[in-house]
Structure 1
Amino acid sequence: MGTALVVEDSLTEREIITQCLKLAGITVVIASSGEEALEKLLGDLPDVIVLDVVLPGRSGFEICRELKAENRTNKIPVIICSTKDTDMDKYWGMRQGADAYIPKPIDQDFFLKTIKQLIHH
């Protein structure tokens, strides 16, 4: 089905997202910080990136903006998953180049539907 890079520092959230993706047949690569995610992207590129906003070091918004500015990674769909759920947060996430913004706790059916749409886009 594809590969997802999950960038999430919360172990609980990471487990929920990882299990959801694996059940859908998606291979999961994990990073617990934006810096670790950028290192992993130097190797094989995933089909989709699931990105938290509140991360140690740089925010998910910064990482998203950087990914969308680089030719090598700008075509990879980015889904921001965050507890930051105001209209302004969603607007700001989309302005950084996110392809989707999903509030936590995630609705797993909606999350997988969004992932599948973006992978097959």
Structure 2
Amino acid sequence: MTTILLVEDSLTETEVITRHLRQAGLNVISVTSGEEARIQLQSQKPDLVILDVILPGQSGFELCREIKTNTSTQAIPVVICSTKGTEADKLWGSMLGADAYIPKPVDQQALMQTIQQLTSVY
């Protein structure tokens, strides 16, 4: 089963995105901060990471850069999912290694298409 690591500090967004993913038959692990995400990434490698940009402590952009520069996690696709949807934000995410950028509120169909494109197991 495909496992998605969802890094989102909003309980409402977590519930909505988790519901979309589980309806598609995906396993979801959700955490609320970059620190929790790092701990999770050390113990279990997900098939894909969905990252909010605005997180407590470290930003999603910073975490994306960490994931993509670490040899043990750099192959994991990263999707940034944020209300910060300007072209500058999308470009910055891309420069830091994000594989895709999805604006909030999340469109279920766009999310599923993106996951399908980035994972071979879905």
TM-score (norm 2): 0.97
For 2:62, the equivalent position in structure 1 comes to 62
**Alignment-mate amino acid for residue 88 of structure 1:** A
User: Cα deviation per residue 1:29-65 (whole Å; 9 max; x = unaligned)?
Assistant: 0110001000011111000000000000000000000
Percentage of matched positions with identical amino acids: 56
Please give the secondary structure, in 2, of the residue aligned with 1:25: coil
CA distance in 1, matches of 2:24, 2:118: 14
**Runs (5+) with no aligned partner, structure 1:** none
**Alignment-mate amino acid for residue 91 of structure 2:** Y
Please give the secondary structure, in 2, of the residue aligned with 1:53: coil
For 1:5, the equivalent position in structure 2 comes to 5
For 1:14, the equivalent position in structure 2 comes to 14
User: Cα deviation per residue 1:46-87 (whole Å; 9 max; x = unaligned)?
Assistant: 000000000000000000000000010000000000000100
Shift of 1:104: 0.2
Q: Is residue 108 from structure 1 mapped to residue 108 from structure 2 by the alignment?
A: yes
TM-score (norm 1): 0.98
CA distance in 2, matches of 1:120, 1:108: 19
Task: Give runs of ≥4 in structure 1 deviating > 2 Å.
Answer: none
Please provide the CA RMSD for this pair.
0.9
Count residues in correspondence: 121
Shift of 1:120: 1.3
Q: Is residue 84 from structure 1 mapped to residue 55 from structure 2 by the alignment?
A: no
Please give the secondary structure, in 2, of the residue aligned with 1:41: helix
For 2:119, the equivalent position in structure 1 comes to 119
Shift of 1:117: 1.2
For 2:50, the equivalent position in structure 1 comes to 50
